[in-house]
Amino acid sequence: MNLCDIDVIRAVLARHGFRFSKSLGQNFLTDLSVPQRIAAQSGAAQAGHVVEVGPGMGCLTAELCRVAGQVVAVELDRALLPVLDETLAGFDNYEVVQGDVLALDLAALCREKFGDGRAVACANLPYYITTPAITALLDSRAFDQVTVMVQKEVAERICAAPGTAAYSAFSIYVQYRAAAEILFDVRADCFVPRPKVDSAVLRLTPLQQPAVQTVDEKLFFSLVRAAFNMRRKTLVNALGPVLGDRLGKNGITALIGTVGLDARVRGERLSLADFARLTDAAAGMLARA
């Protein structure tokens, strides 16, 4: 059964009286080459164990079952469980866990299902949970590789370089924890129902150590958030809400000079290494203030 064939999708879903839910981000793939390419490039064959988020009707699940030893698919919508029983009947190496991926302890799930075995994560993510789902997958530290389809713009934002319009606090969060690369684009007409935007498949390879070292990770992310909260302002002004009380404007100006940056620079131009140097210098000044 080709689970991406539009006639098969309509017939199976009609048999189960299933209706797509926009609020659950349900856009199912209609081009079989896409789940095939995701499964082939996901590292599932090497790791042997996979957690899939949002199997839907199971087109990606089936491809993962073909290449991996064991697949655990987390699906929020109970109405899809009988659908998956039917579409995945030919496989015996998968399990569906009904639940919200954002409410699960993913590291505990992997330990429970795979023991000490290595695992990767895969998903055609529902758009409405893209950021928290990627954060949860990376924060779990449970996966050797995370391969996710997301809105194309979000994929570009995650991979963006300093000084570009797409560079954001989330680019820095992801690049701090993982090497990020876009594998391929997927046009909006490869889904039913058709979304308004194109998608891209993103490969995140978690790093053993963060991309940059800092003495205070919490302060690092506070400075990053402050810089991007007011990205049109100079860094001196943008850092005011975080450091102004204790260092004053003169102190912040001195701090920026200490790390060799121009006082008029905007935060959006800073690399991860710049933010790390800024954090270490700020931590030193705060300790003395």
CB 138 to ligand SAM: min, Å: 16
What residue has token string 């998608």?
199
Nearer to ligand SAM, 124 or 140 (CB): 124
Residue 178: beta bridge partners?
206
Decide whether 53 or 172 has the Cβ nearer to ligand SAM: 53
Tokens of 186: 């997927």
Q: Does 153 bind ligand SAM (CB under 6 A)?
A: no
Between residues 39 and 174, which has the closer beta carbon with respect to ligand SAM?
39
Does position 24 interact with ligand SAM (CB under 6 A)? The reply is yes
State which residue, 158 or 255, has the beta carbon closest to ligand SAM: 158
CA 129/CA 112 separation, integer angstroms: 24
Look at residues 126, 206, 149, 180 and name the one whose alpha carbon lies nearest to residue 35.
Answer: 149
- DSSP-derived pairing of the beta strands 146-151 and 199-206: antiparallel
- For 221, residues 6+ apart whose C-beta sits below 8 A from its C-beta are 169, 173
- The 62-91 contact track toward ligand SAM, x by CB under 6 A, reads ------------xxxx--x-----------
Report the SS3 class of residue 260. coil
| C-alpha torsion 66→71→77→80, nearest 10 | 40
- Closest by CA to 149, choosing from 197, 207, 95, is 197
Query: What's the CA gap between 243 and 237, in Å, rounded?
Result: 10
Query: Contact letters (x/-) for ligand SAM, 108-137, by CB under 6 A?
Result: ----------------x-x--x--------
Least distance CB 149 / ligand SAM (angstroms): 7
- Selected binder of ligand SAM within 54, 138, 168, 247 (CB under 6 A): 54
Interaction between residue 192 and ligand SAM (CB under 6 A): no
- Contact pattern for ligand SAM over residues 88 through 107, marking x by CB under 6 A: ------------xxx-----
Residue 208 DSSP symbol: S
Q: Minimum distance between the CB of residue 3 and ligand SAM, rounded to whole angstroms?
A: 8
In the complex with ligand SAM, which residue's Cβ is closer, 149 or 242? 149
Number of residues in contact with ligand SAM under rule CB under 6 A = 23
151 binds ligand SAM (CB under 6 A): no
Closest CA to 6 of 29, 26, 25, 33: 29
- Judged by the rule CB under 6 A, the positions of this chain that interact with ligand SAM are 24-29, 53-56, 59-60, 74-77, 80, 100-102, 124, 126, 129
